[in-house]
């Protein structure tokens, strides 16, 4: 059996990789090829185009890079036809993937869509295209199943894959607010129970290995795209000299490159750690996070956060006219209320950011956030999203035969 998978962003690469592992656990001889990143390649997919060459965010950015996007579409179509898969799995990345779904429909190739486009936020007109061209839709947000039902389209709610990713991580964070008596003691007890106390607990040398002191950490998650980082990081790092009792640490990604981050870090007290986001969140006291999947990751690690976003001015104006949601962060959207502060566009400045951080460091505000995070986790469903999705996909392919 052969499957082609298309993921155009870092989060898609992560979730695509976990899905690939679940698929191969059921079908070890499965052949996989597609667009993605390092994680998908490590999971056993032959990656023919890396997502770093695909990630264009915002209306203006898409417009100025349209030739590259069209070239990627053309290459992808030809590569799929040559590979001749049993089905194509589309992972999020709607601008590209919905065009591919339309093409695949004309070729009679089965289409599975994992992680729905945000049609509930804007471009509801795309639902008609989804109904026509997508054979099976697998959604990860609880309200999406009811939303699609309004359009007479049945989807599968499989739970959020981040629950699996964080559960599998050795950097799970524990809080009293999650009804645990002592975070460190809880980790110790579980490690001893499993017989790996020395390996799991004593090897946690994150601070020492990254030259960090014992001050409380404020984590900076500036995004996974260069254009995001260039807009977000300079403002985020401005906070460092205003909070001398804390240390500010940036979560970097090696595919972006350490040098790229350092050009925006002008304060020597701001540290940079590469490819250790979950370890950083495990140790963080608070965080500034660029809107996206990272807001959920931060919440599921139990870290109070302020969500930040600043895009191209013209993209922002168009977005304001088209987007029909009360919030931009997934944390607030899933809970359907303001759990965390959102600083968008002009509101993302040093004055408002300082005020938001002051709130995060206040005990009462932190307890409220922890309580809402517990509700968030409950709403996201149980673990096993990748396994459930893999089983449903393989069952659908079995029906075809």
**DSSP code string of 85-146:** -SEEEEES-HHHHHHHHHHHHHTT-EEEEES---TTTS-TTHHHHHHHH-SEEEE-SHHHHH
Lookup result for tokens 């409380």: 216
Number of domains in the chain: 2
Report CA 78 to chain centroid distance, whole Å.
Answer: 29
| pLDDT beyond 80 at 375 | yes
The residue segments making up the domain with residue 94 are 2-159+384-400
Q: How many residues does the chain have?
A: 401
Q: Which of 31-40, 157-166, 167-176, 350-359 has the lowest mean pLDDT?
A: 167-176
| Among candidate residues 9, 23, 2, the one with its CA nearest the CA of residue 93 | 9
What is the structure's pLDDT at 350?
Answer: 95
What is the structure's pLDDT at 394?
Answer: 97
Lookup result for tokens 């701001």: 270
Confirm if 390 and 26 have CB atoms less than 8 A apart. yes
Query: Which CATH number characterizes residue 96's domain?
Result: 3.40.50.2000
Predicted TM-score of the model (pTM) = 0.76
Confidence of residue 338 (pLDDT cuts 50, 70, 90): very high
| pLDDT beyond 90 at 295 | yes
| pLDDT beyond 60 at 314 | no
Return d(Cα 145, Cα 140) in angstroms, integer: 9
Instruction: Mark whether 375 and 388 lie in a shared domain.
Output: no
303 phi, psi to nearest 5 deg: -110, 120
Instruction: Mark whether 155 and 182 lie in a shared domain.
Output: no
What is the structure's pLDDT at 54?
Answer: 67
Instruction: Mark whether 132 and 219 lie in a shared domain.
Output: no
Instruction: Mark whether 292 and 200 lie in a shared domain.
Output: yes
Instruction: Mark whether 155 and 170 lie in a shared domain.
Output: no
Mean per-residue pLDDT for 283-287? 97
| pLDDT beyond 50 at 178 | no
Residue 102: other Cβ atoms inside 10 A: 14
Q: Which of 138-152, 159-173, 183-197, 299-313 has the highest mean pLDDT?
A: 138-152
273 phi, psi to nearest 5 deg: -120, 140
Q: Quick one: tokens of 263?
A: 């050009």
Instruction: Mark whether 135 and 26 lie in a shared domain.
Output: yes
Confidence of residue 175 (pLDDT cuts 50, 70, 90): very low
The 3-class secondary structure across 33-81, one letter per residue, is: EEEECHHHHHHCCEEEEEHHHCCCCCHHHHHHCHHHHHHHHHHHHHHHH
Instruction: Mark whether 282 and 333 lie in a shared domain.
Output: yes
Instruction: Mark whether 113 and 203 lie in a shared domain.
Output: no
**Whole-number mean pLDDT of the chain?**
86
Mean per-residue pLDDT for 152-161? 95
Instruction: Mark whether 89 and 72 lie in a shared domain.
Output: yes
Confidence of residue 227 (pLDDT cuts 50, 70, 90): confident
Instruction: Mark whether 23 and 149 lie in a shared domain.
Output: yes
What is the structure's pLDDT at 176?
Answer: 35
Instruction: Mark whether 201 and 346 lie in a shared domain.
Output: yes
343 phi, psi to nearest 5 deg: -115, 110
Return d(Cα 54, Cα 91) in angstroms, integer: 13
Instruction: Mark whether 220 and 348 lie in a shared domain.
Output: yes
Mean per-residue pLDDT for 311-326? 58
Confirm if 27 and 14 have CB atoms less than 8 A apart. no
């Amino acid at each position: 059996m052969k499957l082609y998978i298309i993921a155009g962003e870092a989060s898609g690469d992560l979730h695509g990789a976990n899905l690939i592992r679940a698929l191969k656990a059921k079908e070890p001889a499965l052949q996989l090829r597609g667009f993605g990143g390092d994680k998908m390649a490590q999971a056993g997919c032959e990656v023919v185009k890396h997502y770093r060459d695909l990630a264009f965010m915002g209306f203006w950015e898409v417009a100025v890079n349209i030739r590259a996007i069209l070239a990627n579409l053309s290459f992808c179509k030809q590569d799929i036809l040559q590979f001749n898969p049993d089905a194509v799995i589309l992972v999020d990345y709607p601008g590209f993937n919905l065009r591919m779904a339309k093409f695949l429909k004309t070729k009679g190739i089965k289409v599975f869509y994992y992680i729905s486009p945000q049609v509930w936020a804007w471009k509801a007109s795309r639902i008609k295209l989804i109904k026509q061209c997508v054979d099976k839709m697998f959604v990860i947000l609880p309200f999406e199943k009811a939303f699609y039902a309004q359009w007479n389209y049945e989807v599968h709610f499989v739970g959020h894959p981040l629950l699996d990713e964080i559960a599998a991580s050795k950097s799970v964070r524990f809080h009293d607010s999650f009804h645990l008596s002592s975070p460190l003691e809880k980790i110790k007890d579980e490690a001893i129970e499993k017989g790996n106390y020395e390996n799991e607990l004593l090897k946690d040398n994150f601070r020492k290995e990254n030259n960090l002191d014992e001050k409380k950490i404020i984590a900076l998650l500036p995004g996974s795209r260069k254009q995001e980082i260039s807009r977000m990081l300079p403002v985020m790092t401005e906070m460092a000299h205003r909070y001398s009792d804390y240390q500010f640490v940036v979560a970097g990604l090696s595919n972006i490159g350490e040098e790229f981050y350092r050009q925006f870090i002008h304060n020597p007290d701001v540290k940079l750690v590469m490819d250790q986001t979950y370890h950083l969140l495990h140790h963080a006291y608070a965080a500034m996070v660029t809107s996206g999947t990272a807001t959920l990751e931060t919440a599921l690690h139990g870290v109070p956060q302020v969500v930040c976003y600043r895009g191209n001015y013209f993209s922002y104006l168009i977005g304001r006219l088209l987007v029909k949601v009360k919030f931009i962060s997934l944390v607030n959207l899933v809970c359907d209320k303001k759990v965390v502060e959102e600083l968008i566009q002009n509101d993302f400045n040093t004055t408002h950011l300082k005020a938001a951080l002051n709130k995060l460091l206040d005990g009462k505000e932190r307890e409220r956030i922890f309580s809402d995070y517990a509700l968030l986790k409950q709403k996201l469903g149980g673990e096993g999203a990748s396994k459930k999705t893999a089983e449903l996909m393989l069952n659908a392919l079995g029906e075809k035969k």
